[in-house]
A and B are shown apart, each in its own frame.
Chain A
C-alpha cells in the first residue's frame, strides 16, 4: 500500500455506498484484484481517525445476515476531502510517470 493513500482508498470505496468495515476491506481487495489486503488492525484505526476528522460518520445497522454492524458513510466534508486527495494523487502520479518516462 502506498504511504498515505489508505484514507483516500477508503473514502473512494465509501463514496459508492455506506459499508461496514469488512465490506470496505473486501471491496478494496476485489477492486485491486487482490493486491491490497487491509486487515482490521489498519482499517479500524483509519476509520476511527476519519470519523474523528468528520470525513465519515457511522451508524449501527442490520447486515444482510441479520447481525448488527457498524456502517460507515461519507459526509460532505469527506466528499470534499476525497476530491482534493484524488486531485493531488493524480498530479503526483502524473509527475512520477513523467519522470519514469523521461
Chain B
C-alpha cells in the first residue's frame, strides 16, 4: 500500500511538477513570513526582519532542489532534463552533431550489418528442441558422395551405416540421417504447373530426433522409412505451405508430383523450421526410402559405400560428448570393417586404420556458407570494429575540444552547487544521446546493407534464402555496441571537463590548467587514429592486390561472350539407367544443332560442368605407365558435347576433338589436358595412348586419347594445375543440364537468350530453363567473397583515413584559433609566413610520423593471420605497405595544411583585437 501510494504520489508530482513547485514556493514564502514576523516581534524593524529572514532561509532554488532530489522521481526527472539539455546542446552545434552522427552511423551501422550476417550464418541455433544436445557426425563441410573409403575424418555416411549404427549405439537417444545434397527439382501440386522445389531426403527419425512437431497433420515417422519405395509421403515447410495453400488446411492429402512419382502431403512442419542446412531451406521433406524415386540414377539405399548422408544425433541425458565420441568411433570401425568382406585389401585396411569420426556441436546445423564465410566475416568484423574505434577517437577529440569551450559553463554549474557526479552523468547522457542517434541511423543503414552484402557475397540469379532482418540478438548487440561506444568517447571528456580547478576557469573562461593535458590526450588520440588507418589500409591493400592476382589468373578458357544455360529435364520423363538413355543424348544433340543456327551463335555444347560447379574425379591408369606420386593424383573429368571446346574457347594443342563419329558403339575416346599429357608422358606423345579409370580398372586401356587441349580451370581460380580429361556425352550417356552458348562479339545477348529459350521449348517443352548466367559471371562469382572483402576493406580503410583527417583538421584548427593572438604578434614582429607554416605543421608531422611508425609496425606484426586468405601475395607485401603509408601521409598532410595555411594569413591587428 505504502509503496503504491509512494509510486502514485511520485508520478503525480512528476507530471504535476509545476503545481508541486508552486506549493514549495508558497511554503517557503510562508516560512520567511513567519520568521520575519517573529523577528519583528523581537523588536527588529520590518525591513531588517524581512532581510534577516531571507538570509536565514537562503536560496529558494537550492532548497527546492534539495527537496526535489530527496524524492525518487527526481531520477527520471533529471534524466529527462538531461536529455532535453543534451538535445539543446547538440542542436546548438550542428556541424559537430552532423559529423559525429554520420561517423557513428557508419561505425555502428557497419558493425551491425556485419554482425547480422555473422549471427545468421554462424551464431543463430536451429529452431529445434534443446539444440545444445545435438551432435553432428563430422564437421558438416562435405557435400556430394564418393564410392571409396576416405582415410582421415569422415563427414558423410551411407544409409546402411546409418541403420547399422542406430541398431548398436547407446550414447544417443536418437540419430537422424539427412541427404547431403538437396534436390533442386520441379514439383506439380494436384496437376498444376511445375515449380522449382527444394527437397530434403530424411530418415524416419529426423523430426523426432530434432524435436520438431507438426504444425498441421503429421511429420515423417519411422514406418515411412522402413521399406524402399513404399512411403510416397511428403511434409511441407511452413513457408512453402503458406506460399502454395495460403494456410488452407485442405492442403493435407493433396498429391504432389515429383519426377513422375506422386507423393501425398501428410503434414506441415512447425513455422520457422527449414531443415538443418543454413542458407538452403527445404520446401519439402521426403523419406529416405524414396531416394530411388526422387533421384533417378543415384540410388544409395543398398550401397554400403555410398556416403551421402549427414548424421546428427541427440545425446542421452547424462552422456558426455567425449563418451559418445569414443563409442561412436569404436562402432564406426567395426561397422565399416564388416562392409569390407572377409579378405579386405591392405589399402582398405590401412585407410580404415586412419579413419575416424569427429563429433561436432550440431546446434547450428550444417552450412556450406559457414565454411566459406567464417574467416572473412571475422576479419570484416575486426575491420569494422577498428573503424568504430577511430570514429570514437574522433568524437572524443571533438568533445574534448568542446569541453574546453564549455569549461566556464561547467564551472558555473559546479559553483551553484551541482555535484561532479551530476555533471558527469549529464555529459554522459549527451554522449549516449549522440550514440543512440547514430545507432538508430546505423540500424537503418544495416537493414539495407546486410541484404546488399549477402547479395554481393553470393552473386547469382537467385539470392541466398537467408533471413537477414535484425532480430533480438542483433538489437542487443547494437545496443551493447552503442553503450560501449558512448562510454568510450564520452567518459574521458566528461571526467576531463569536471576535473578542473574552477577558480581560474571562472576567471578567464578557459580551463587553463587542463589545456596542456587535453592537448596530450588529443595528440595521442590522433596518433592512434593514424596508426589504425594505416593498419586498415594495409589490410585493404593486401586484399585488393590478392584479388588482382586472382582475377588475372589465366582461366584457360575464354570467359567473354559465352552464356551458360541451366536446363532441367526432371519433368521431361527421360529414361535413366536403361539402354534407352541414349535418347537424352539425341535430345541434347537436337538442341545443339537447332541453337547453332541462331544468327550470332558461334558454338554451343552441353556439358556436365562448366566452371566452379563441383567436380568428378578419380585416378587413371595408362597402359604400360607406372604409377608415380605425380601421376597418381586424381584426374578431373567432364562429359561434354562435340562443340564444347569451341564454345568454351579452350584451344586444341594436338590431335582432334570429338566428332559425330564418336558414338556409343565406336571405340571410347577422351581429350586430355596438357598437364595430364605431360605427367604421364614427360617426353613422349600422348595421343593414341590408352587408359582406364580407377585405381585397379575393370577394363584396362579401354579409353583412347585423341586430342590434347590447353589447361583450363575446373573448380576454382586458385586451384593448382590439375590433370583433366574430357569424354563425349555420346559415350557417357545422360542428360547434362549445363548448356554453353558462345556468341559473336557485339551480338545482342538478350535476343540470343530468348531465341535459345524458344529453340529448347520447340524441341521439348518439358525441358525447363532454370537460369542463365555468363561464363564471366561464373568466374566473378567464384571470387565473390574475395572481391567483397577487398571492396569492403578498401571502403572502410578510406573511411578510416577520412575520419583521421577530420581529427587532425579539427585539432589544428582549434590550436590555431587558440593561438590567434600569439600568431598575430609573431606576424607583427615580422615572422615570415613560411616559418609560421612550418611551426604549425611541425607538430602534425611529428604526430603523423609517430602514427605511421606505430601503424606500420602493428601491420607487420599482425597481417600474418591473413596469409591463408591471400593469393600469391606475402602478408608483408611492400607495395601494399608503401601505398597505404603514402595515402595516409598525403591525406593527413592535406588536412593539416589547411589550418596551418590559414594561420599564416592572420592579420596582426585583427588578431590582437580578438583577445
Contacts and interface: CB of A to CB of B under 8 A. Distances in A.
Interface in B26-48: 26-28, 30-31, 33-35, 37-38
B34 A22 contact: yes
B28 to A, nearest CB: 6
B5 interface: yes
A80 to B, nearest CB: 13
A46 B62 CA distance: 15
Interface string A6-25: 00000000000000111100
Given A40-B63, A44-B63, A20 B56 contact: no
B67 A26 contact: no
B57 A20 contact: no
Interface string B54-97: 00111000110011011100000000000000000000000000
A40 B2 contact: no
Nearest to A37: B56
Contacts of A20: 30-31, 34
A65 B34 CA distance: 8
Contacts of B34: 20, 22-23, 63, 65, 67, 69
A70 B57 contact: no
A39 B57 contact: yes
B5 A54 contact: yes
B2 A45 contact: no
Contacts of A26: 38
Contact of A70 (B23, B38, B56): B23
B30 A49 contact: no
B70 A22 contact: no
Nearest to A21: B31
Contacts, number: 67
A61 B30 CA distance: 11
Contacts of A63: 30, 34
A55 to B, nearest CB: 10
B6 interface: yes
A69 B23 CA distance: 10
B19 interface: no
Contacts of A21: 27, 30-31
A70 B66 contact: no
Given A22-B35, A54-B2, A65-B37, A44 B66 contact: yes
B860 interface: no
A49 B6 CA distance: 10
Nearest to B57: A40
B769 interface: no
Interface in A19-53: 20-23, 26, 39-42, 44-46, 48-49, 52-53
B30 A40 contact: no
A70 B58 contact: no
A70 B30 contact: yes
Nearest to A44: B67
- Size band of the interface chain B makes with A: 20 to 34
B5 to A, nearest CB: 7
A67 B32 CA distance: 12
Contacts of B132: none
B38 to A, nearest CB: 7
B51 interface: no
B24 interface: yes
Q: What secondary structure prevails in chain B residues at the interface with A?
A: helix
Contacts of A52: 6, 9-10, 71
A65 B35 CA distance: 12
Contacts of A23: 34
Nearest to B1: A54
Contact of B67 (A39, A45, A65): A45
Interface string B416-428: 0000000000000
Contact of B27 (A39, A41, A44, A65): A44
A40 B24 CA distance: 11
A34 to B, nearest CB: 14
Contact of A69 (B24, B30, B63): B30
A68 interface: yes
Contacts of B70: 45-46, 48-49
A45 B71 CA distance: 9
A54 B70 CA distance: 15
A41 B66 contact: yes
Contacts of A40: 28, 31, 57-58, 63
Contacts of A54: 2, 5
A53 B2 contact: yes
A39 B24 contact: no
A90 B709 CA distance: 109
Given A41-B58, A45-B66, A54-B2, A67 B33 contact: yes
Contact of B31 (A22, A49, A65, A68): A22
A46 B34 CA distance: 19
Contacts of B6: 52-53
A63 B63 CA distance: 22
Nearest to B56: A39
Contacts of B33: 65, 67
B30 A68 contact: yes
Contacts of B27: 21, 44, 69-70
Contacts of B28: 40, 44
Contacts of A42: 66
Contacts of A22: 30-31, 34-35, 38
B800 to A, nearest CB: 52
A49 B74 CA distance: 13
Contacts of A44: 24, 27-28, 63, 66-67
A44 B34 CA distance: 15
A48 B63 CA distance: 12
Contacts of B24: 44
A52 B10 CA distance: 9
Contacts of A67: 30, 33-34
A52 B27 CA distance: 17
A59 to B, nearest CB: 12
Given A44-B27, A69-B34, A39 B71 contact: no
A39 B58 contact: yes
A44 B67 CA distance: 6
Interface string A79-101: 00000000000000000000000
A4 to B, nearest CB: 15
A26 B37 CA distance: 12
Nearest to B66: A45
A21 B29 CA distance: 11
Contact of B62 (A41, A48, A68, A69): A41
Interface string B680-691: 000000000000
Interface in B273-317: none
Interface string B389-430: 000000000000000000000000000000000000000000
A57 to B, nearest CB: 11
Contact of B26 (A41, A45, A65, A68): A68
Nearest to B28: A40
B346 to A, nearest CB: 90
Nearest to B5: A54
Contacts of A45: 66-67, 69-70
Nearest to A42: B66
Contacts of B58: 39-41
A43 to B, nearest CB: 9
Contacts of B62: 41
Contacts of B30: 20-22, 63, 67-70
A14 B901 CA distance: 75
16 contacts: A21-B31, A22-B34, A22-B35, A26-B38, A39-B56, A40-B57, A41-B66, A44-B27, A44-B66, A48-B70, A48-B71, A52-B10, A65-B33, A65-B34, A69-B27, A69-B30
Given A52-B10, A63-B30, A69-B27, 6 more contacts: A20-B30, A39-B58, A40-B28, A41-B62, A49-B71, A53-B6
Interface of A: 20-23, 26, 39-42, 44-46, 48-49, 52-54, 63, 65, 67-70
In order of increasing CB-CB distance, the 9 nearest A-B pairs are A22-B34, A69-B30, A45-B70, A45-B67, A45-B66, A22-B31, A70-B27, A44-B67, A41-B63
